[in-house]
Amino acid sequence: MTPPQDPNRVAIFDTTLRDGEQSPGISLNTSEKLEIAQQLARLGVEVIEAGFPITSPGDFEAVQAIARAVHGPVITALARTHVADIDAAFEAVRDAERPRIHTFISTSDIHIVHQLQTTREDVKGQARAAVAHARGYVEDVEFSPMDATRAELEFTAEVCQIAIDEGATTINIPDTVGYAMPHEFAAYLERLRELIGDLADVVLSVHCHDDLGLAVANSFAGVRAGARQVECAVNGIGERAGNASLEEIVMLLRTRGADLAGLNTSIETRELARTSRLVSRLTGYVVQPNKAIVGRNAFAHESGIHQDGVLKEPTTYEIMDARSVGLEANSIVLGKHSGRHALRQALEQLGYSIDGSALSTAFKRFKEIADRKKQVTAMDLEALVTDELREEIAAYTLEWFDVEASSRRPPHATVGVRTPAGDEVIGAFTGDGPIDAVFRAVNAATGLEGRLREFRVDAVTGGQDALGETSVVLELDGVSASGQGVSTDIIEAAGRAYVRALSNAVRRAAALKQDGTQGEASEEPAERAPVSAP
């Protein structure tokens, strides 16, 4: 990737599917990752970091599927400086219209000594060999000196110069542990540009973490200091406290970038809210109400003084228009008498193109919900479609449930669960409440001892007849996984979420077992990827 022709254009590099998925409890399958990637393309991101292919066969498959199906953005895969990593990354992205390999190695002494257990000279050698190897595959190579902000600047500059000499087209500076402050980060980049004359010939990128709540501030300081690519994630998800929030840095650049530095992006901001909701539903990570830009309170006014001012003139208390980020999408679109054609048309307006049996399934589910709700909104439809996509790939599905609840005796639940083999198994149990009883009954039916770790209920929209969206995180044989469910009946939504979490845990355990078996047979067992990366 060569520097953008517009010197004020900031490329948005999305790492939701790589760094974001490293958040605890998130377990996306290939279908879900592909759906997010397609939405990111509609959003207009320049680069999608689709995953870390060497980590597992599942991650490789997902990156490869995205590379083959998603058009427009650069598709990149992460790789350590090992030959096997880079080979896997290339095989995963080779079919993309615009493939990139992103390789990294630490330059901080704390990582070199304690994690890599090597020397600075070895780090330089690995960086040189890795970039050269990657450049032999693709023209677009990104290099990151991990933990750069805690590393000696001069050494980091030397390693980056080596990467440029070997053909790197993007140099990314990560604040891997969120340690830097904005003025320090800007000064670091300015000094780096002084030390590396060739840095002007490549794209300078930043990747900031939010451990001290400064990821967006540091990213903005970076672009003001000359960076023209920002690595970020939808809803700010990622390792530990997360990454720079994509929607926040984009709207910061849109709202203040022109005033301060003439900066801009190519993001279609009206897709921001929809992208946020999709990622939240598929990952199970809720967006807090007061979240900037996409939280449900972001454009709400409770104070009488604020309400009075906004009614008279919106700009008295609003620096952005809710429509600019797509937050007006909760308008009513369908009613209980709407037909199949109206549903398909509404879904197409939301970016979903379905037909045939998929449309029939969606229509049946829509009618069930429409009989319970007076009005079905765009957000309801998004939730329903996402819920049906989960159903298609679930290993186990909740067929039915029966709950007896009373304040005089423990609630009792009986459930029917469809197994991967197509059989219906039945289980019954009591619990502390009706939802706990359903969870225990599912365990009894499947013979799986899932242990609940987190349970959350959210309303998709307002009102007494709102759809309820539940999220479950459970542990099965040491493997954590999440699942989500949607229904106007919270018990039904909870049961769906729990069964899907069990399904995801079973799949993850099987994948880890298969990967472990392959690792035992490998001549390079040390090639297992670390938990964290830039």
Q: What's the CATH number where 215 sits?
A: 3.20.20.70
Instruction: Note the pLDDT of residue 328.
Output: 60
Query: How do 376-377 and 332-334 pair as beta strands?
Result: antiparallel
When the pLDDT of each residue in the chain is averaged and rounded to a whole number, the result is 87
303 domain residue, yes or no: no
Instruction: Give 256's DSSP letter.
Output: I
Cα separation, 5 vs 356, in Å, equals: 44
**For residues 41-50, average pLDDT:** 97
430 domain residue, yes or no: yes
- One domain for residues 476 and 367: no
Higher model confidence: residue 224 or residue 260? 224
pLDDT at 331 over 70: no
**pLDDT bracket for residue 41 (50, 70, 90):** very high
Instruction: Note the pLDDT of residue 15.
Output: 98
Query: 137-189, pLDDT tens digit by residue?
Result: 999 999 999 999 999 999 999 999 999 999 999 999 999 999 999 999 999 99
Indicate the residue type of 179.
Y
> Last residue of some domain: 391, 416, 438?
391
Among 36, 163, 59, 42, CA closest to 107:
163
**For residues 479-486, average pLDDT:** 86
Instruction: Note the pLDDT of residue 28.
Output: 86
Cα separation, 494 vs 456, in Å, equals: 9
Return the minimum-mean-pLDDT range out of 31-45, 134-148, 335-349, 479-493: 335-349
CA distances from 384 to 106, 223, 283 (A): 43, 39, 15
311 domain residue, yes or no: no
**pLDDT bracket for residue 438 (50, 70, 90):** very high
Residue found by looking up tokens 């794209």 in the block:
203
**For residues 491-508, average pLDDT:** 91
- One domain for residues 362 and 402: no
- One domain for residues 384 and 422: no
- One domain for residues 352 and 436: no
CA distances from 532 to 158, 425, 505 (A): 24, 40, 21
**pLDDT bracket for residue 353 (50, 70, 90):** confident
153 domain residue, yes or no: yes
- One domain for residues 374 and 429: no
- One domain for residues 275 and 127: yes
pLDDT at 394 over 70: no
- One domain for residues 515 and 486: yes
Among 371, 333, 386, CA closest to 35:
386
| Prediction pTM value | 0.82
Looking at the 3D structure of the chain, how many domains does it have? 3
Instruction: Note the pLDDT of residue 531.
Output: 46
pLDDT at 523 over 80: no
Q: Residue 462: which CATH number?
A: 3.30.160.270
Highest mean pLDDT among 25-29, 98-102, 486-490: 98-102
- One domain for residues 380 and 406: no
Among 319, 195, 174, CA closest to 255:
319
> Last residue of some domain: 283, 304, 323?
283
Instruction: Give 136's DSSP letter.
Output: T
Instruction: Note the pLDDT of residue 512.
Output: 74
pLDDT at 388 over 90: no
Q: Look up the domain containing 207 and give its range.
A: 11-283
The tokens for 180 are: 């830097």
**For residues 190-208, average pLDDT:** 96
Q: What angle do CA 467, 335, 470 make, to 5 degrees?
A: 10
**pLDDT bracket for residue 324 (50, 70, 90):** confident
- One domain for residues 343 and 248: no
**pLDDT bracket for residue 42 (50, 70, 90):** very high
Higher model confidence: residue 347 or residue 152? 152
> Last residue of some domain: 345, 365, 391?
391
**For residues 109-117, average pLDDT:** 96
The tokens for 509 are: 């355990």
458 domain residue, yes or no: yes
pLDDT at 275 over 70: yes
Instruction: Note the pLDDT of residue 329.
Output: 52
400 domain residue, yes or no: yes
Query: How do 424-430 and 412-418 pair as beta strands?
Result: antiparallel
Share of residues in the chain with pLDDT > 70 (%):
88
- One domain for residues 78 and 145: yes
The answer to whether 17 and 234 have CB atoms below 8 angstroms apart is: no
Instruction: Note the pLDDT of residue 302.
Output: 54
208 domain residue, yes or no: yes
pLDDT at 429 over 90: yes
Instruction: Note the pLDDT of residue 303.
Output: 52
Contacts of 521 (CB under 8 A, 6+ apart): none
Instruction: Note the pLDDT of residue 527.
Output: 40
- One domain for residues 153 and 200: yes
- One domain for residues 95 and 210: yes
pLDDT at 305 over 70: no
**pLDDT bracket for residue 407 (50, 70, 90):** confident
84 domain residue, yes or no: yes
pLDDT at 522 over 80: no
Strand partners, 428: 414
